[in-house]
Structure 1
Amino acid sequence: MSALLALLLLGARETIGVYGGWGAFRDDSPARCFAIAQPVDPTQRAGSLSIATWPDRNVRSQLYVHLSRPRAGTARVTLSIGERRFDLIANDTDAWAPDARTDAAIVAAMRSSRSLSVEALGRGGAPFADTYALSGAASAIDSAALACRR
């Protein structure tokens, strides 16, 4: 289990389960459920990727990425799954899908793929990619979504 998942397990949130390298969690205030993982490369453990459901906001399957390092000013952030590429909106260290339709397309692509990567240019101008294994992702996403229905 990754260090991020271990820290989450110690928090005030309810642990739903751990599926491969993915954890599913539920918070009561604000009400949200999410699946989360860290990049497979141990040197990039500062990064994370989550898919969240916010029932009070009527939001489902919302992508959030915390980059493993700060990106260069206006550098593009791209999420790649197989042959599909998705441009993300980003600030210095975080990225997300531009709309709910893109969130849904990303989650659908995650269900049939083995890995995904999030690429950008770092502040020093060198490109980087945070790669995530998707084994267990679908189970964690589904478990989180179900936990927010109760």
Structure 2
Amino acid sequence: MLVLLTAFAIPAPASARDTLGVFDGWGAFADPRPRRCYAIAEPDARRRSAAWRPFAAISAWPARGVRAQLNIRLRKAKRRGAPVLLMVGNMRFALVAGGADAWAPNAAIDARIVAAMRQSDSMRIETRARDGSRLVDTYRLRGAATAIDAATLACAPSG
């Protein structure tokens, strides 16, 4: 799993990435420049038809004052105007998206999503692809809280 996670993680030179740990299906990594730390996982049933490797990540960017920001890479580009819905436990969140990436609309929703992730066993993202097919990816959340905490601590301000 570690090789898979590092191979598709947020782009950076492989030699620059520090592995913080792998916790069940979630990995935690840090990049020095720009300084960023993130917890990341692939969906449960990765489909071979994916145009690229889908993932869900929770990131911290200290220089930007960003902490616990959700980013989801869909397995295909979404259809223009199609809603992107994230279900975490019994909570539903409408995400904003462009192309093949989706995010929470603001930091308050990011915080609600991360809180829901900490209390749930799985999350599911749904939308429509450009070709009209239904896109659904499910993520197990076992290990997510630990990976998020490792990434958050690694990018915490010192002093």
TM-score range normalised by the length of the shorter chain: over 0.9
Give the AA of the match of 1:4. L
Which whole-Å CA distance do the structure 2 matches of 1:128 and 1:26 have between them? Answer: 30
Aligned-residue Cα RMSD (Å) equals 1.6
Quick check: 1:20 aligned with 2:29?
no
1:56, distance to aligned residue in structure 2 (A): 1.0
Which whole-Å CA distance do the structure 2 matches of 1:133 and 1:83 have between them? Answer: 15
| Alignment-derived partner of residue 119 in structure 1 | 126
Which whole-Å CA distance do the structure 2 matches of 1:142 and 1:82 have between them? Answer: 20
- Paired residue secondary structure (1:142): helix
Quick check: 1:31 aligned with 2:38?
no
Deviation string, structure 1 residues 27-81 (Cα, Å, up to 9, x no partner): 1100110000011112157210100011111111000011011111110001101
Deviation string, structure 1 residues 80-138 (Cα, Å, up to 9, x no partner): 01221100000110000000000000000000101001100111212121111101000
User: Within 5 A, what are the aligned runs for 1:1-150?
Assistant: 1=1, 4-7=4-7, 11=14, 12-43=16-47, 46-149=53-156, 150=158
Give the AA of the match of 1:133. R
Alpha-carbon distance change, 130 to 2 in structure 1, aligned in 2, over 3 angstroms: farther
Alpha-carbon distance change, 98 to 41 in structure 1, aligned in 2, over 3 angstroms: same
Equivalenced residue count is 149
1:6, distance to aligned residue in structure 2 (A): 4.3
Alpha-carbon distance change, 3 to 74 in structure 1, aligned in 2, over 3 angstroms: farther
